[in-house]
Amino acid sequence: MDSKNHLQNQIDILLAELPWYVEEYYTSRMAAGYSKKTLHLYLFEFRRFFRWIIDSSVQEQLISENRLNNEEYSAITKDLNIKTLEFIKKTDFEAYITYLREEPLKAGKNKDESLRSQNHLLTIWSSISALFSYLTKETEDANGECYFYRNVTDKVIIRTQRETLARRAANIQPKLFIGEDMQGLLDYIENEYASTLSKNNRSATSFALNKERDLAIVALFLASGIRLNELVRLNLNDIHFTTNRIDVIRKGSIRDSVPVARFGMDYLKQYLEIRKEKYAPEKTQNAVFLAIRAGVNRVSERTVQTIVNKYTKAYKMRVSPHSLRHSHASNLYEKTKDLTRVSNQLGHSSTQISDLYVHINDAAGNGLDN
């Protein structure tokens, strides 16, 4: 099953456990152009919240206050009555946030359990707030009225975790590939990485198959600064070698034409020259980056993350695809000192978002020292 079908399967599983009004929300947001990845995360958080409601005493309290009757009580998330959301109290929401804040997260083998960060809590809360906003402002019953009008989430406050751009830049800067380090990473993958693998093992076989693809992926991040999902969704007809540009779909389903540094296009061309021979895709397969797993399919975001993690860890330190995006932007700003150009390159809606790279430039020692 390819990543696209796998994601839809996960969405279908979640919808099967959620009430009719959540299905309406999902349909509405799909029509509005929301990504399935975003909606999957939202549905997951809705289910978690509804399970907490059922496990807590929220419904019992509403019954005792004659807000619900016994027939409207539900023991499963699929049947959670919409009146429960209408009358749930602010204190119940605060109790849920406290529960999330104090619930330990399993960090994996040989690591201590950790707690959710403030930013993680804000992400969870924004998804639940989005559902309540929809139910109280955008829905219509038989009389043209919203299903209910009391949006209790407007009364709940969660502090935003703030940090200066200077501090954020200082945290990001050591994870970047600046100047010669950028080509150094690509040279390492091409010429040295194979020597770290045992001959004739599975990893060596995989590297031999995917070397050109992986180089093109890493190079394209460094040469263009595109996002992970933008790279994964690239199709063959999105690549324009004559102009050194690629077409991508930005946030908000906005199509954009992105300039790519020549070295990135060179690695991409080398990969495309062996794509058909090594992966034998069907003629209808238009995805640029392919993976052989239960057939030949578009590479998944998780696979690309693993690719970047693996090579950067072996070369210097383990970083994410987003760090390679930061690396491109930092290199571009260092060369041009043009925030508008950096902002356009990254697909930012404002140069304020790109101000970070001024601070990264200073954190690298190019501000006060000069």
On whether both 170 and 96 belong to a single domain, the answer is no
322 is catalytic: yes
Residue 149's domain comprises 3-155
311 is catalytic: no
The 10s digit of each residue's pLDDT in 268-278 is: 999 999 999 99
On whether both 179 and 127 belong to a single domain, the answer is no
**How many domains does the structure of the chain reveal?**
2
Indicate the residue among 130, 155, 180 that finishes a domain: 155
Torsion angle, CA of 298/299/301/306, rounded to 10 degrees? 170
147 is catalytic: no
What pLDDT does 170 receive? 78
Q: Please, which pLDDT band fits residue 162 given cuts at 50, 70 and 90?
A: low
On whether both 196 and 310 belong to a single domain, the answer is yes
CATH of the domain at 224: 1.10.443.10
- Mean pLDDT computed over every residue of the chain: 89
What pLDDT does 20 receive? 97
- The one catalytic residue among 26, 42, 193, 357: 357
On whether both 150 and 184 belong to a single domain, the answer is no
On whether both 126 and 249 belong to a single domain, the answer is no
Between CA 175 and CA 266, with CA 346 as vertex, the angle to 5 degrees is 80
- The one catalytic residue among 29, 213, 325, 359: 325
What pLDDT does 112 receive? 47
Q: Convert 319-353 to b/e letters by CB count within 10 Å (16 or more is b).
A: bebebbbbbbbbbbbeeeeebebbbebbbbeeeee
On whether both 98 and 18 belong to a single domain, the answer is yes
CA dist 301 and 330 (Å) reads 23
The 10s digit of each residue's pLDDT in 91-148 is: 999 999 988 888 777 544 444 456 788 888 888 999 999 999 999 999 999 999 999 9
Residue 283 above 50 pLDDT? yes
40 is catalytic: no
Q: What are phi and psi of 292, to 5 degrees?
A: -100, 105
Q: Residue 296: inside a domain, yes or no? A: yes
227 is catalytic: yes
On whether both 73 and 222 belong to a single domain, the answer is no
- The one catalytic residue among 48, 101, 341, 348: 348
- The one catalytic residue among 227, 233, 275, 328: 227
- The one catalytic residue among 137, 251, 269, 313: 251
On whether both 125 and 271 belong to a single domain, the answer is no
The 10s digit of each residue's pLDDT in 16-36 is: 999 999 999 999 999 998 889
The 10s digit of each residue's pLDDT in 132-161 is: 999 999 999 999 999 999 999 999 888 776
Mean pLDDT of 233-243: 96
Q: Residue 160: inside a domain, yes or no? A: no
- Cβ proximity of 214 and 332 under 8 Å: no
CA dist 174 and 181 (Å) reads 12
